[in-house]
Chain A
Amino acid sequence: MNVFAGKDGVRPSTYRIIRNVVVVWLTLVILSGFLLSIPRIAILEHTARNLYFHVPMWFTMMAAFIVSAYHSLRHLQSGDLRRDVRALQAARVGALFGILGLITGIVWARFTWYVGTNVWWNFDPKQTLAAVQLLIYGAYFTLRSAIDDSEKRARIAAVYNLFAVVTVPFLLYVLPRQMESLHPGAEGNPAFSEITHPVMRLVFYPAVIGFIGLFWVLYTQRVRMAQMVLRSNEMEEAEL
């Protein structure tokens, strides 16, 4: 019997089913993202299809950070190091999606907002605050690496993580809407503007679900690996 199977985690057979569904689901999202014909509007043209790929990166990052904060909270309640492992791995995969969101946003902006100006980065409030958000989580990883004692590290990192997640809605929603930004959703506008054709929602929402599913698969993989490391460390300590 596998001592890891189902123990504080998903059963391997359930994991495989969800993984396979996510893989097929995202393949269909990519196919329909390219194949569904959309109205062509000036400036955006085919890049409007980035809605299906760029925006879900941020939704996925937020979902990941919420998962991370949840496990940090549970760690503070229980002192269980496996909760700390989950908080760390969720934050790591979340930060990956955030970095992808930032880079894809830079590329998209370069050829729409900044076309003809040769500008890649112009400190647009939405982009700048998203970058600040990633730095806040960067500090979470730095903080962890600065503490050697694993229980102390888990506790301090969990407290920091709870403060970090509180900044997410402010940096990504509240503040950008108070400022002048080229990004949809600025100055109190809804992020889905009136030029976003309703047909695009057919692909957009499944894309969000699919990428959150992909986060879950990557996160579960990393948690399984990290728990093996934790277990082997425990075994070594028991031998000493």
Chain B
Amino acid sequence: MIIHSLQEDTTSLGESSPYDSVWSGTEVPVQQREGLEKVMLQEDKLYVVLAVVLIIWMGIIFLLFRTDRKIDRLERNMTERISEKSSRS
């Protein structure tokens, strides 16, 4: 099977399409993107998705570490209780 390359995206500069964020028929700003936008808007804004996924992943990691701390504490408490009991009997 042949790997097709997609057509060059011609709608991003100079003209707008019906689903563009700019009203069709109006002048689209064509000035050079600067700073963060210059990076984040590349590749059809794929990097924005990356940022979102990374934020979610960081939240999951936070929960993972917190749960570990909680389990450690519970294990320590239980160990104390068990050793108290065995020293009493």
Q: Could you tell me which A residues sit within 8 Å of B by CB distance?
A: 1-5, 12, 16, 19, 23, 26-27, 30-31, 34-35, 37, 39-42, 45-46, 193-195, 197, 217-218, 221, 224-225, 228, 231-232, 235
Contacts and interface: CB of A to CB of B under 8 A. Distances in A.
Given A27-B54, A46-B46, A195-B1, 14 more contacts: A2-B79, A3-B78, A3-B79, A3-B82, A19-B68, A39-B5, A40-B6, A41-B4, A45-B6, A218-B64, A221-B67, A228-B74, A231-B82, A232-B78
Contacts, number: 71
B72 interface: yes
B36 interface: no
Contacts of A224: 71, 75
Contact of B75 (A4, A41, A217): A4
B23 interface: no
22 contacts: A2-B76, A3-B79, A5-B75, A12-B72, A26-B57, A27-B57, A30-B54, A31-B54, A34-B47, A35-B50, A42-B4, A46-B44, A193-B1, A217-B64, A221-B64, A224-B75, A225-B71, A225-B74, A228-B75, A228-B78, A232-B78, A235-B85
Q: Is the interface of A mostly helix, strand, loop or mixed?
A: helix
A30 B79 contact: no
Interface in B52-89: 53-54, 57, 61, 64, 67-68, 71-72, 74-76, 78-79, 81-83, 85
Interface residues of chain B: helix, strand, loop or mixed (majority) = helix
